[in-house]
Structure formats: C-alpha cells, structure tokens
Structure 1
Amino acid sequence: MSRYLEVTDIDYVPVSVKLTEPLIIRASAIIDGKCKREIGVKAYTERIRLTDAQRGHLSYYPVVDVLNAKGRPTQGILGNFFGSPNFETIDDLSIIDVDKEIGTIWCGHSPFGSAYEELEVSYTSGWDIIPDKVKVACGLLIGQMSTNPNTNVKSKKDFDYSIEYFGNNMITPEIADLLSEFELRSFR
C-alpha cells in the first residue's frame, strides 16, 4: 500500500487540515490510480520482444536495477530443427544495457552467437525518495477530501431529496499537471 506523505508532513497540506492515516492512504491510492503505477520502488517481471537491432523497452521507469533475466534465442544449437528454443537464464547481466532513465534495453547475443528475440526481465523501478511534486499532489487531494467528507457529491437538495454527483475523478488539472511525468506510458 502506497503512502506518499507521513502524518508529520504538514507542510504539504492546507493549514486547517488535520493530516490522518486514512486521508494519506486514500490520496495515495488516487495517485496510484492516476499514474497506473506505484511511485516508490517496486519489483516487476515482464517479457519484452526485441527488435532486429536487439532493442526493447521496459514498461516501468526509471529503472533502479536489473535483478535477473532470461532470454529466448532466435535459434538453438541445432538451429530451429527441433522448434523454437526455450528461455535460458542469462548469467552474465553485463550483456544487457539499460537506459535507466527511460527504460530502453539492449541485449547482446546468446553464448552460442544467436540473437535473442524475447527477454524476461526482473527489475526494480521507481523513486527511492518520493518527489516533491507527488507530495504536493497528495497534499492537494487531502485538502479536497478534508473539506468535503463525501467527495463525490456535488450538491444536495433536502426539499425534494435529490443528490447530484460529480464524475468519478478527483484529479484537477493542477494535480494532473503535477503527476504527468510519473504516469505509465506504453511504448508498445
């Protein structure tokens, strides 16, 4: 469960707001939903196809570290006589080059000289220290939630018992702008 603020981080919320654990957890969950990922460091495993130039792209970035990898070569020792080869563990991770900032990956050849067509990579991705933009967005969301306990209600009319609801999105344009660089973007 993500937590992008601590109860002691009162600098990120309006003065009149009392920072509580449930508000922090709700706001952090909204941020995770908007970004389609956790902002903190988390481990991922994914399979990626490589181009003819032995390049691919990991979904989550920035990449902190590549933990292990398996590759499926285009050909086995006997070519493709017995079918496509299985995944094999890549013991020497130095043949994998990762641009950690944007998640682009390049891989050398298998021990038998064949190029890899697909990789299964286990890696960690995210930010060790939660960026200030995420903390500010979390504080803004907490400010919205604390002023209106039922955040989805736009207006109530007691005379005829009607309730008008907002949409299901609490992300204002300001919050969306703060979180834009942390959103998951697919390169595939």
Structure 2
Amino acid sequence: MSRYLEVTDIDYVPAGVKLTEPLIIRASAIIDGRCKREIGVKTYTERIPLTDSQRGHLSYYPVLDLLSAKGRPTQGAFGNFFGSPEFEPIDNLNIIDVDKEIGSVWCGQSPFGSPYKEVEVSYTSGWEIIPDKVKVACGLLIGQMATNPNSNVKSKKDFDYSIEYFGNNMITPEIADLLSEFELRSFR
C-alpha cells in the first residue's frame, strides 16, 4: 500500500487541514490509480517481445536495477528441428542493455548465436525518494477530501435517499499536471 506523505508532512497540505493516516492512504491510492503504478520502488517481472534489431521496451521506468532475465531464442542448438526453443536463463546480464531513464532494452545473442525473440525480465523500478510533485499532489487531494468529504456529490435528497454525483474523478487539472510525468505510458 502506497503512502506518499507522513503525518508529519504538514507543509504539503493546505492550512487548517489535519493530516491523518486514512486521508494519506486514500489520496495515495487515488494517485496510484491515476498513474496506473506505484511511485515508490517496486519489483516487476514482464515478458517483452523483441524486434528484429533485438530491441524492446519495459513498461515501468525509471529502471533502477536489472535482477534476472530469461530469453527465448529464435532457434535452438539444432535449429527448430525439435520445435520452438523454450525460455532459457540468461546468466550474463551484461548482454542486456537497458536505458534506465526510459526503459528501452537491447539484447545480445543467445549462447548458440541465435537472436532472442522474447525476453522475460525481472527488475526494480520507481523512485527511492518520493518526488515533491507527488507529495504536493497528495497534499492537494487531502485538502479536497478534508474540506468536503463528499466533494463529488452534485445533489443529495434526504427524503428518498438519492445521491447524484458529478463524476468519478477527483483529479483537478493542477493535480493532473503535477502527476503527468509519473503516469504509465505503454510503448507497445
């Protein structure tokens, strides 16, 4: 569970708003939903197809560390005589070049000289120190939730217990702008 603020981080919330654990957890969950990922460091394992030039792209970046990899070569030691080769461990991770800032991958050849057509990579991604933009966005969300717990309610009728909502999004344009560089963008 993500937590992008601590109860002591009162500089990030509007004046007069009391910072509580439930508000921090709710705001952090909204940020994770908007960005479609956790901002903190997390381990991912994914299979990525490689182009003919042995290039691919990891989904989550920045990449902090490459932990392990397996590859499926286009051909085995005996070609494809015994069927398509299975995934095999890549012991030398130096044959995989990762641009850690944007997650692009280049992979070398298999031990038999055949290029890989797909790799399965385990890696860590995220920010070790939560960026200030995320903390500010979290504080703005907490300010919205604390001042009006039903900020998404358009009208409420107590007689027949009906509630009409504006929409399902608490992300204002200002918060969206703060979080834009942390959102997951698919390259596939």
Tell me if TM exceeds 0.5: yes
Instruction: Name the structure 2 match of 1:151.
Output: 151
Amino acid aligned to 2:94: S
The aligned runs of 1:2-13 (5 Å cut-off) are 2-13=2-13
Tell me, in whole angstroms, the C-alpha distance in 2 between the residues paired with 1:82 and 1:159: 73
Instruction: Name the structure 1 match of 2:67.
Output: 67
Tell me, in whole angstroms, the C-alpha distance in 2 between the residues paired with 1:75 and 1:156: 65
Q: Which secondary structure state, in structure 2, belongs to the residue aligned with residue 81 of structure 1?
A: coil
Asked if 1:129 is matched to 2:129, the reply is: yes
Matched positions, count: 188
Q: Deviations over 1:78-116 (max 9, x none)?
A: 000111100000000000000000000001001111100
Instruction: Name the structure 1 match of 2:33.
Output: 33
Tell me, in whole angstroms, the C-alpha distance in 1 between the residues paired with 2:97 and 2:159: 67
Asked if 1:15 is matched to 2:6, the reply is: no
Tell me, in whole angstroms, the C-alpha distance in 2 between the residues paired with 1:4 and 1:103: 23
Q: Which secondary structure state, in structure 2, belongs to the residue aligned with residue 16 of structure 1?
A: coil
Tell me, in whole angstroms, the C-alpha distance in 1 between the residues paired with 2:7 and 2:109: 50
Task: Indicate how the Cα distance of structure 1 residues 53 and 16 shifts in structure 2: closer, same or farther if over 3 A, else same.
Answer: same
Q: Deviations over 1:60-92 (max 9, x none)?
A: 000000100000000000000111100000000
Tell me, in whole angstroms, the C-alpha distance in 2 between the residues paired with 1:96 and 1:162: 58
Structure 1 unaligned spans of 5+: none
Q: Compute the displacement of 1:154 (Å).
A: 2.4
Tell me, in whole angstroms, the C-alpha distance in 2 between the residues paired with 1:162 and 1:29: 27
Structure 2 unaligned spans of 5+: none
Amino acid aligned to 1:28: S
Amino acid aligned to 1:35: C
Q: Compute the displacement of 1:162 (Å).
A: 5.4
Tell me, in whole angstroms, the C-alpha distance in 2 between the residues paired with 1:158 and 1:4: 36
Tell me, in whole angstroms, the C-alpha distance in 2 between the residues paired with 1:63 and 1:170: 29
Please tell me the root mean square deviation across aligned C-alpha atoms, in Å.
1.3
Question: Normalising by structure 1, what TM-score?
Answer: 0.96
Tell me, in whole angstroms, the C-alpha distance in 2 between the residues paired with 1:64 and 1:81: 39
Instruction: Name the structure 2 match of 1:187.
Output: 187
Amino acid aligned to 1:122: S
Of 143-152 and 109-118, more deviation after overlay is shown by 143-152
Moved over 4 A (4+): 157-162
Asked if 1:93 is matched to 2:90, the reply is: no
Of 157-166 and 143-152, more deviation after overlay is shown by 157-166
Tell me, in whole angstroms, the C-alpha distance in 2 between the residues paired with 1:51 and 1:160: 60
